[in-house]
Chains A and B, each alone.
Chain A
Amino acid sequence: MTQTFDILVIGAGPAGVAAATAAAEGGLRVGVVDDNPSTGGQIWRRGAASPAAARRWMEQFESAAITRLMGWQVIDCLRLGPDGGVLRAEGNTPGGEAADLHFRRLILATGARERFLPFPGWTLPNVMGAGGLDAMVRGGLPIEAKRVVVAGTGPLLLAVAAHLKERGAQVMAICEQASPAQMAPLGWALLRQPSKLRQGMGYRWTTRKTPYLTRCWPLAALAESSVGESDGQNSQPRLRSVRLQREGRQWTVECDYLACGFHLIPNTELAALLGCAMRDGFIVTDEQMQTSMPGVWCAGEPTSIGGVECSLLEGQIAGLAAAGKTGAALALSKRRAGMQAFVEALERACRLDPRLRDLAAEETIVCRCEDVRMAALRGRSDGRDAKLHTRCGMGPCQGRICGGATEFLFGWRAGQVRPPLYPALVSSLMEEEAAGSVAGGAEYAVSEGIENV
């Protein structure tokens, strides 16, 4: 399949929705691609509490003349020049289908993912990300009457706890690793964003019966409960309880799920593959959200983590600028400066306590794809060295999960990005022009080689 667009947007979260809607107003051919089967990104998709503003955006987006390719992931860039380029995407349907997406201008709105830190037991089933468990519940996982411990760092914890509570979960504790002093500037910044403040207070009201513990984190996820009962000999291990620590005190809480995420890290792999310049892990843009690559704009979380309003504004700016409406884009970009204080306060509030580096024991798995343990990684000089000697980061997630951990644990930076961006059918990568359905192909390529499955 081949499709041609004036403007192609990657990601259908708030940033991508705003970008596509703004760009489509001028009658240009606009396309949006997203890996997920439904639109709305991490926050708006599938039954999240949608405030009026969210509904307005989604209505505009749904009624605009935009081609929506949902359930497609961009896996490679075939060509990029000043006058446009071609991306290859693969459909998430069993059997696989590939498409070549031609564009004149490109807007990257690829969002962010959670950071995970290894601790004993974090690979047990039912230990998930905080946003991860929330996404699973929105995808139909029954949570009513289940006991959940929410842990990690960032405002997402409170949002997730409130949402799970509304769905009938019993939220046992919210454990925030940060100290109150570290979070204070965020409180000040929120005073200048009354809508966000109201939302936060609403989340806390919903979860008022749950303790919100600062400087608190999980020491271990356990397959046994505190009263010593454990699964029978032949059964599979599963999460029974979590051992928590707060300022010298340690205790165990029984639960069915541990939802644990340490704030967000930007999805910059596609931008990096295209050659966009980066600073401190984020994509660099000018005031109109244009990257260092001509014809490529970037909006939302890959440029900074600033919440949904920030992603929306950046999306609008990028959409207008890519559609050639420079004046309107520049007028909006003045408002972006006002959001910077929040972005900085958020970054500071989520800075990780160095003691979290000691959570992983020697035998704790750090790279879940290849089961590489902490002991094997000690003494390696950098990510590349670790990859060569231990296979850390060489599995199907391509280092997206362990990379966030090893960056914090050892200071390793992500290496060069190579296609495919996600494991893809070899046939999807080889065809000169992307063809339709490929029958029976079962050879998958991850960036470091081919895996037969």
Chain B
Amino acid sequence: MTERASTALLSGGVALSVDGVIVQVPPGTTVAAAVCVAGAWTRRSVSGEPRAPLCGMGICLECRVSIDGAPYQRACQTLCAPGMQVSTCGEPALP
């Protein structure tokens, strides 16, 4: 666990799963930020490029992921909740 994650846990952090990897984030963190913390991309483009958040404000939809089985959720407009299951279409990035 990273130093950040353990701090999150101590201060009442939120634990959620991103592509099966458990990440700990401080309360009030967006799913988009959690996906970046997990080192994953959010989606693959129609020609196969990995993509990640662009606008951070709900406009571009580059950050769309599946949350608890519901597809097409904008990760930047959604706050992390305990036990949330997030799945991206991209493969995890190397750190």
Residues of A with Cβ closer than 8 Å to B?
A: 35-37, 42, 46, 71, 73, 92, 94-96, 113-114, 116, 123, 125-129, 131-136, 139-142, 231-232, 235-238, 365, 368-371, 395-397, 400-401, 423, 442, 444, 453
Interface of A is mostly: loop
CB atoms of B45 and A135 under 8 A apart: no
B contacts with A, residue count (CB < 8 A): 47
Q: Count A/B pairs, Cβ under 8 Å.
A: 138
Q: Are A132 and B46 in contact (CB under 8 A)?
A: no
Asked if residues A140 and B53 are in contact (CB atoms below 8 Å), the reply is no
Judge whether A35 and B53 touch: CB under 8 Å: no
A44 to B64, CA, bound (A): 24
| B22 part of interface (Cβ distance < 8 Å) | no
Could you give 24 example pairs across A and B, Cβ below 8 Å? Answer: A36-B77, A92-B73, A113-B55, A125-B41, A125-B52, A128-B54, A132-B55, A132-B56, A133-B56, A135-B57, A136-B76, A140-B25, A140-B26, A140-B28, A140-B29, A232-B94, A236-B90, A365-B49, A368-B60, A368-B62, A369-B61, A371-B46, A401-B54, A453-B72
B81 CB to nearest A CB, Å: 10
Residues of A within 8 A of B74 (CB): 92
Contacts of B52 in A (CB 8 A): 125-126, 128
Main secondary structure of the interface of B (DSSP, over half): loop
CB pair B54 A371 closer than 8 Å = no
Contact across chains for B64 and A236 when beta carbons are under 8 A apart: no
- The answer to whether B61 and A132 have CB atoms under 8 Å apart is no
Check if A141 sits within 8 Å of B36, measured CB to CB: yes
Query: A129: which of B54, B71, B91 is its contact (CB, 8 Å)?
Result: B54
CB atoms of A35 and B61 under 8 A apart: no
Which of A94, A123, A139, A423 interacts with B29 by CB under 8 Å? A139
**B55: nearest chain-A partner, CB-CB:** A132
Please name the residue on chain A nearest to B4 by beta carbon. Answer: A142
Verify B77–A71 contact, CB threshold 8 A: yes
Closest to A267 in B: B59
Q: Is the CB of A35 within 8 A of B46?
A: no
Contacts of A129 on B, CB cut-off 8 Å? 54-56
Report chain B residues within 8 Å CB of A453: 71-72
Cross-chain contact B26 with A114 (CB below 8 angstroms): no
Q: How far is the CB of A308 from chain B (nearest CB, A)?
A: 16
Say whether B55 contacts A95, CB under 8 Å.
Answer: no
Which one of B32, B72, B94 contacts A444 once the chains associate, using CB atoms below 8 Å?
B72
Chain A residues within an 8 Å CB radius of B71:
442, 444, 453
Does B6 reach chain A (CB closer than 8 Å)?
no
Query: Which of the residues A73, A116, A142 comes within 8 Å of B54, measured between beta carbons?
Result: A116
Query: Which listed residue, A36, A141, A371, touches B45 by the CB 8 Å rule?
Result: A371
Q: Which of B22-74 contact A (CB under 8 A)?
A: 25-26, 28-30, 32-34, 36-37, 41, 45-47, 49-62, 64, 67-74
